[in-house]
Amino acid sequence: MSIKTYAVAGLFALGAMAPAASMAADAEAGKAISGVCVACHGQNGISQVPIYPNLAGQKEKYLADSMKAYRDGKRSGGQSALMIPQAKNLSDEDIANLAAYYASLPAGGK
């Protein structure tokens, strides 16, 4: 066997030992639990109130990281007094699903 063959086999072995990635986020499940978000962030993730950000079309990782930071008390200032109670009881799966849902919406709201 060549060194190249060993290198490829090694990469596959490392991949097999890596922790399994969590299941892919479910945008439909996120939509189903997004009802409370609508009051501030709008029906299609486009806020009608200038102080609340649009969520539609945002990057999924940014949305998930932001919600986790609110939930875990690591994000303060701005609208955190409103967001912390909303995010407090969300599981990692809920957050991933919400992030997938809002990331899937068109940024222009159409």
Mean pLDDT for the chain overall: 85
Q: Does some domain include residue 43?
A: yes
Confidence of residue 12 (pLDDT cuts 50, 70, 90): very low
Extract the runs of DSSP E, i.e. beta strands, from the chain: none
Domain count, the chain: 1
> How much is the pLDDT for 107?
94
Confidence of residue 94 (pLDDT cuts 50, 70, 90): very high
Are 53 and 47 in contact by the 8 Å Cβ rule? The answer is yes
Q: What is the CATH number of the domain that holds 72?
A: 1.10.760.10
Higher model confidence: residue 76 or residue 7? 76
- Output the six-digit token pair for 50: 């200038």
Residue with tokens 């998930």: 64
Residue 27, classified by CB atoms within 10 Å of its CB into exposed (0-12), middle (13-18) or buried (19+), is buried
Range of the domain at 46: 25-104
- Output the six-digit token pair for 27: 């945008």
